[in-house]
Amino acid sequence: MSINQEVHPTNRVAIVTGASGGIGRAVAERLAQDGQTVVVAYAGNKARADEVVTTIRSAGGTATAFQADVADEQQVAALFAHAESEHGGADVVVHTAGVMLLAPLVELDLDDFDRMVRTNVRGTFVVLREAARRVREGGAIVSFSSSVTRLAFPTYSAYTATKGAVDAATLVVAKEMRGRDVTVNAVAPGPTATPLFLDGKSDEQVAGLAQAAPLERLGVPDDIAEVVSFLAGPARWVNGQVLYANGGIA
């Protein structure tokens, strides 16, 4: 076995939700680069999902796309069934799909709040539940939190609350997987240059956030994908943790 195979096991199958863009796309492409077969799960943008699949295949990897609403248990079950029928099963599940709608609490639109809870909380629990039922022995489950649970930026109260639920569930689910040799962790990105994060922010706000980290830049999706690659491959003794990937912002 080569050194690369020891660090990044091949012949594994990864389901990545939210994989049609932003961090999810970077994660899907990185796991494919590591030798994993990837199911590119997307909510609605088939063209972008197909583009990710084409990119992976062009680089010599294996990928398929599958549409699923992460908050719909039947669609998520069908997603896992697709991984099993097309690729033999699922070893890694990375749940990046999320919604971020910002407002001061006194101006919070409760419809926006409900939308975030549906995707960020219910969606996470639906995906985690199906992953806990079906991921193969030796697998890894990675969900997504956010560094704003510590940074407490104004206007982020509702979004932060939804990500706090991810933090709370991570260690519990890790303990519930006892005896399965399956790790359960969460990644908490800091300010990362994605459309989701940059939307609605002025150039001045973006520049200020870039300077907040000691490394004096925003994160990029590949920075986060590197952390996921670690958790999805060699990190067999990291379990029940929330890993903060934010360049040192405190």
Q: What pLDDT, in 10s, does the model give residues 70-85?
A: 999 999 999 999 999 9
The answer to the question of residue 79 being in a domain is yes
The answer to the question of residue 104 being in a domain is yes
What residue has token string 């005896």? 179
Q: What is the pLDDT of residue 5?
A: 40
What residue has token string 């569930």? 169
What six digits make up the tokens of 227?
A: 């952390």
Please name the residues in contact with 230: beta carbons below 8 A apart, sequence gap of 6 or more: 238
Strand-pairing partners, residue 92, are: 14, 140
Please name the residues in contact with 62: beta carbons below 8 A apart, sequence gap of 6 or more: 32, 37, 38, 56, 87
The answer to the question of residue 216 being in a domain is no
191 vs 26, 125, 184, 201, CA distance in Å?
16, 24, 23, 12
Total tally of structural domains belonging to the chain: 1
What six digits make up the tokens of 155?
A: 């206007």
Q: What is the pLDDT of residue 10?
A: 59
Strand-pairing partners, residue 67, are: 42
Dist CA 209 CA 223 (whole Å): 16
Full domain range(s) for residue 87: 3-190+222-244
The answer to the question of residue 132 being in a domain is yes
What six digits make up the tokens of 166?
A: 């991810």
Q: What is the pLDDT of residue 69?
A: 98
Stretches where the chain sits below pLDDT 50 are: 1-8
CATH of the domain at 159: 3.40.50.720
Q: What is the pLDDT of residue 138?
A: 96
Instruction: Give the residue numbers annotated as catalytic, written as ranges.
Output: 159
Dist CA 123 CA 27 (whole Å): 19
The answer to the question of residue 46 being in a domain is yes
Please name the residues in contact with 179: beta carbons below 8 A apart, sequence gap of 6 or more: none
| Tens digit of each residue's pLDDT (9 = 90 or more) over 114-133 | 999 999 999 999 999 999 99
